Amino acid sequence: MLDRDDLDAPDATGSDDIHPLFHGAPKTTEFRKLRKRIIRETREAIDRYGMVNRDPTAPREKWLVCLSGGKDSYTLLAALTELQWRGLLPVDLLACNLDQGQPGFPATVLPEFLARMGVPHRIEYADTYSIVKDKVPQGRTYCALCSRLRRGNLYRVAREEGCCAVVLGHHRDDILETFFLNLFHGGKLATMPPRLLNDEGDLFVHRPLAHVAEADCEAFSRAMNYPIIPCDLCGSQDGLQRQVIKRMLDDWESRAPGRRGKMFSALMSARPSHLLDAELFDFGGLTRAMAADPPKG
């Protein structure tokens, strides 16, 4: 696990320098605590969900870090880069942005930023926007089809680059919102897993920010003044159910601060014997102690 003083120590090369991604970072105690919390929670998720192969005889892994240009993906890239920089994440990282052909997408922002920061990267162009516009009926949301097309292209890039994992910037709030979406609209208890294997069985999908709050991602990327690309280039679609869930969670949090944290803790503490899934728990196999060993006399 990440020790308390690891973030103050020199990196594995013995240098006191910081990675260019952190140049210009605020010197305030508040930002220092924020940065440490994000790095610690990222490392905790990586360790808890076994995202890194710890077999010393295995070849070094390579991860495709998906970068949209939003606050979450910048936070993801910075956290993973710092862990790698300090010798705490023994994998190679390749940042990747998929330009999906959205009108007004600032195509030069990310390649210029990544080159300036010295981050290995690949920029891929695939016009999925036109496909989505053509296939999705008027009035329906684009997100589901857009996400599938994006994921397929990222899997392809990962295979071409020899990566074993596609790494996404979903955070704690995304996971909570997905849980409630499945609960209210899907009729199931499920959410985004922090780690999964794709259907083909050749790539992992990792979410190292699974324990990190969205508010921390926003505060971090704003403090670092990263060049944020808006996420509504395809047209802001009001009424998305995820936005409804987000407002509901915001309301609960305002009424009872810390509610999100409690709910997220519940996702890590499931009790199958106290739910109703007979395939997950053998209710029929329960026996009374007296029936199994009746009293004598």
pLDDT digits (tens, 9 = 90+) for 187-233: 999 999 999 999 999 999 999 999 999 999 999 999 999 999 887 65
pLDDT of residue 149: 87
Among 35-39, 46-50, 94-98, 99-103, the least confident range: 99-103
3-state helix, strand, coil in the chain (%, to 5): 45, 10, 45
Query: How many residues in the chain?
Result: 297
Cα separations in angstroms, 138 against 141, 167, 259: 8, 32, 37
Compute the mean pLDDT over every residue in the chain, rounded to the nearest whole number: 88
Where are the chain's structural domains? 6-15+29-171+194-236
251 pLDDT tier (thresholds 50, 70, 90)? very high
Least confident of 17-21, 35-39, 60-64, 280-284: 17-21
**Domain 6-15+29-171+194-236: CATH architecture, name and number where available:** 3-Layer(aba) Sandwich (3.40)
Predicted confidence at residue 202, as pLDDT, reads 96
Which backbone phi and psi does 75 adopt, to 5 degrees?
Answer: -65, -45
Residue 214: predicted pLDDT: 96
